[in-house]
Amino acid sequence: MMKQKFVSFDWVIKYMLRDKTNYVIVDGFLSELLKQPIQIQEILESESNKSTRDDKYNRVDALVKNQHGELILIELQYKTEYDFFHRILYGTSKLITEYLKEGEAYTQIKKVISVSIVYFDLGEGDDYLYHGTTNFRGLHRNDHLQLTKAQKHLYHCQTPADIYPEYYLIKIEKFADKVNDTLDEWVYFFKNETILDSFSAQGLKEAKDKLNVLKLPDEERQVYQRYSENRHYQKSMEESEHWEVFFQGEEAGYQRAVQILEKAEAEKRAALEKAEKTEITTKLQTAKKMLQAKIEIAIIMQVTGLDKASIEKLQK
């Protein structure tokens, strides 16, 4: 099976941002991901897709609007970022407020779809493709809250989840290069920067024609090669830094955390034991006073919770 080297997907995004008359490549990817025909109507400018920020944080963002008026944020992230979940939440929340004009009804809030392609191990999970939505489940009857017919007509939605942001996470490092469907063909491209001749996913044919490194103009090919070398160098440096930090600091930090937890547990057990002893002492003192007042043992047992044998010992 023949392999052919193509430019990476972050370069695809940059290419798309330069060529605002042809979105067919990213149209194809989004159609395969969302399992519905997607047509990008326009590229939207926002703080997140400025090229200077892309360079600084080693990521590529593209904010687009599709034919349904939905906002789709595409982001690639190479560098490990521990607050990534918080950042994508912030990104979708910011878009919701940015695109609701002052005085508009809440029904005009734009649907936001966040697509994150990450090259580090985000969270814990064995899959390489995750989809997150917002649903309301009944805590007693375990049913799912639905929209009324009037709300469906007013909101142009079928479920509450259609209103809230959706999140797609593609964890490239978890992909085992086993292609089962056309979306996997895109993920294979993301990971290997290679398109097999047998691939038939939407947009990949156009990617072959437009994004072949060998077919780039000389100047642009040189720019891409420098960009690619720099990216690989940054990745290598980040991995080296990660392991250095792990061996020199993370292990010590882990041991320190274990010590702190063990100390806290010991203190908690000691406090509980002390509280139990204090409670028992108080009950015995109360029972002794009640005995001195000639109160029946059955009543003392009810008041103090002590057993009959413990109370009778106080009489000796």
Q: How many CA atoms lie less than 13 Å away from 208 in the CB half-sphere?
A: 13
Structure pTM?
0.65
71-77 β-sheet, strand order: 40-44, 59-66, 71-77, 112-118, 166-171, 129-132
pLDDT tens digits, 11-58: 666 666 556 666 888 889 999 999 999 998 887 765 444 444 334 444
DSSP 249: I
Residue 226 pLDDT class (50, 70, 90 cuts): low
Backbone angles phi, psi at 262, to 5 degrees: -65, -40
Q: Give the pLDDT of residue 135.
A: 94
> Is 63 in a helix, a strand, or coil?
strand
Q: Give the pLDDT of residue 285.
A: 87
pLDDT tens digits, 67-120: 999 999 998 887 788 889 998 999 999 999 988 887 888 888 999 999 999 988
CA pair distance 75, 61, nearest whole angstrom: 4
Q: Give the pLDDT of residue 55.
A: 44
Question: Higher pLDDT residue, 314 or 221?
Answer: 314
Residue 271 pLDDT class (50, 70, 90 cuts): confident
Among 115-119, 156-160, 228-232, 239-243, the least confident range: 239-243
Residue 304 has pLDDT above 60, yes or no: yes
Element (H, E) at 200: none
Question: Taking residues 276-296, what's their average pLDDT?
Answer: 85
Residue 227 has pLDDT above 80, yes or no: no
What does the mean pLDDT of the chain come to?
80
Question: Higher pLDDT residue, 105 or 10?
Answer: 105
CA pair distance 248, 162, nearest whole angstrom: 47
CA pair distance 90, 198, nearest whole angstrom: 39
Residue 176 pLDDT class (50, 70, 90 cuts): very high
